[in-house]
Amino acid sequence: MKRPLIAATMMLAPLSAQAQEVGEIVSFVSCPVYRDTDNGRKSGCWLVRDGESGKQWDVSQSPHKPNWDYAVFVEGRVADQGDEFCGAPVLEPVRTSRLLDHRCPRHMLPPEGYPGRVFIAPDRYLTSLANPPEFEGPFGPRTFYAFFEFDRDFLVYQYSDFIVQQAAYWIEAAQPRRLVVTGYAATDPIEVSGMELAESPEIAQSRAEVVVLALSRLLPGMEIETRWETGSQPIDVPDADTIPGQSQRRVEIAVEF
């Protein structure tokens, strides 16, 4: 069944209507709007409105960047930040997953006095592959995690690709017996903004195979077993940034000695 088009939001809700508890998690589906600020590269803002509450949010801090042609599934926590950068209160941490079967009209806002943010790469990102980290033993069993957008298997630049690269550096130093790579899919349906969302079962296998391909190139000759599971449940791991849905959309890289 074709889902209804989600209209773009062109007006910001009053700030007084946007008060929510800091740390509270919110999730909804919306068309993204771009604010064309100019404070250096990557300083433009992505704004979305929760149609149910009428609240507008700044989701620019998501490592998964929106595309204004498509609706996004937003999952984030209310940050202790105002609207001074982009014109809307901030969700951080936050994830925005593109829904490619939900088209949106393009809309761009002028700066209107908002500066945007100066881009600073988060500390967990590698700045140069020419200076890989060094690891010292003793080494033992360990599990690494890579994360994905909703119903996608793409390794996101400067997020999931970094996690896989870091895992490869550690594994190369540790020299384990083998790896077990398991892909997960959040196939249990949830209702968001009046829509039923569920990942396809096939995406679990696809995610595992993408990570195995990357590891086989980074670690030639390593024995790797591939597995996949549906019905993924949330787990508490740091790189999911306390977003339960993000933790469900994952691949686990288990290191065995």
Number of domain units in the chain: 2
Domain boundary among 66, 85, 109: 109
Find tokens 């009428």 and name the residue. Answer: 54
Range of the domain at 19: 15-109
CA distance 252 to 180: 8
Neighbours of 242 (CB within 10 A): 14
Residue 215 lies in a domain: yes
One-letter amino acid for residue 9 of the chain? T
Q: What residues contact residue 217 under an 8 Å CB cut-off, 6+ apart?
A: none
Beta bridge partners of residue 25, listed in sequence order: 77
Residue 73 lies in a domain: yes
Among 6, 1, 11, 156, smallest CA distance to 69 is for 6
* 92 touches 81 (CB < 8 A): yes
Residue 122 lies in a domain: no
CATH of the domain at 27: 2.40.50
Domain boundary among 109, 126, 150: 109
Among 229, 143, 234, smallest CA distance to 183 is for 229
Q: In what order do the strands lie in the sheet with 224-229?
A: 142-147, 250-256, 178-184, 224-229
- Tens of pLDDT, residue by residue over 84-133, are 999 999 999 999 999 999 999 999 999 999 999 998 877 766 556 667 88
- pLDDT over threshold 50, residue 10: no
Same domain, 23 and 80: yes
Residue 8 lies in a domain: no
CA distance 4 to 216: 42
Q: How high is the pLDDT of residue 158? A: 80
CATH of the domain at 203: 3.30.1330.60
Same domain, 222 and 181: yes
Question: What single-letter DSSP state applies at residue 12?
Answer: P
Same domain, 221 and 163: yes
CA–centroid distance for 86 within its chain: 20
Residue 31 lies in a domain: yes
Residue 120 lies in a domain: no
- Tens of pLDDT, residue by residue over 47-87, are 999 999 999 999 999 998 999 999 999 999 999 998 999 99
Residue 124 lies in a domain: no
Burial class (CB in 10 A: 0-12, 13-18, 19+), 17: exposed
Question: Residues 143-161: what's their mean pLDDT?
Answer: 94
Cα torsion at 29, 32, 33, 36 (round to 10°)? 140
Angle at the Cα of 169 from the Cα atoms of 166 and 175, rounded to 5 degrees: 135
